[in-house]
Structure formats: C-alpha cells, structure tokens
C-alpha cells in the first residue's frame, strides 16, 4: 500500500540539541499524526493535526500541518535521552479510515 516519505531515516544527536523530521506525500491528507514507538511497545500518539497550516505543541514537541496538505514536520527541542525511539508520521484522508504510515525516523540521543 501507499506509504509516506519520511526523512531522515535515522538521526544521531547530542543531548540538548533540537531535532527536526518531516513527512511528505504526493497526495493530500486531511489529518496528519505523529507517533513514537519505544522498543517492545506499540506506537504512542504524540500529536494530531487537523487543519492545513496548523501548528501544535505538546511539551517540547511541535508539529505543523503543511499548507499544501501534502507534508508535515515534527520538531523536538532540547532533546533528552528518553526521546530515543522511532518516530512515525501518519496521514488520514477521512475519518474512520486506517492511517497511512511513513517508514519512521530512528532517533538516537548521545548523552
């Protein structure tokens, strides 16, 4: 099935640095969501975006819904060791239809 283009594939950063990752699609999505998956766990919803141009924060995380509705980015400020994990973007075209997922960004934080 279709997948979103997520980049970078992996990142190694120093503790305290800011992180940015993004997701693009060739087609429009009406909702963008960002998830984090820790080893041995299921993905956990971080942020949901519902309107083009919307900028939403959740603590040190900020995500934006691109104005074209074909992209989204996630920023993490002042990274800490517990930010380590895999971050997935996901898109939805309509309610109650399964999400389309990106391939994930694996984040490693060096203390």
Is 85 a binding residue for other proteins by CB under 8 A? The answer is no
Residue from 19, 76, 90, 107 touching other proteins (CB under 8 A): that is 90
Question: How far is residue 13's CA from residue 24's CA, in Å, rounded to a whole number?
Answer: 23
Q: Should residue 40 be labelled a site residue for other proteins when binding is judged by CB under 8 A? A: yes
Give CA–CA dist 1/108, Å, rounded: 28
DSSP-assigned beta bridge partners for residue 14 = 110
Instruction: Answer yes or no whether residue 31 interacts with other proteins by CB under 8 A.
Output: yes
Whether the Cβ atoms of residue 54 and residue 29 lie closer than 8 Å to each other: no
Q: Cβ of 60: how many Cβ atoms within 10 Å?
A: 14
The secondary structure of residue 4, as a DSSP letter, is B
Q: Is residue 92 within the footprint of other proteins (CB under 8 A)? A: yes
Smallest distance from other proteins to CB 43, Å? 5
**Binding-site residue total for other proteins (CB under 8 A)?**
25
Binding stretches for other proteins (CB under 8 A): 1, 3, 30-31, 33, 35, 40-45, 48, 50, 88, 90, 92, 95-96, 98-99, 101-104
């Amino acid at each position: 099935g279709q997948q979103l283009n997520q980049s970078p594939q992996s990142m190694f950063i120093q503790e305290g640095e800011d992180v940015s990752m993004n997701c693009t699609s060739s087609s429009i999505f009406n909702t963008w969501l960002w998830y984090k998956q820790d080893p041995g766990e299921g993905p956990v919803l971080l942020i949901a975006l519902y309107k083009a141009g919307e900028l939403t924060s959740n603590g040190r995380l900020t995500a934006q819904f691109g104005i074209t509705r074909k992209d989204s980015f996630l920023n993490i400020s002042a990274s800490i060791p517990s930010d380590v994990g895999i971050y997935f973007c996901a898109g939805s075209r309509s309610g109650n239809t399964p999400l389309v997922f990106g391939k994930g960004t694996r984040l490693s934080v060096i203390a």
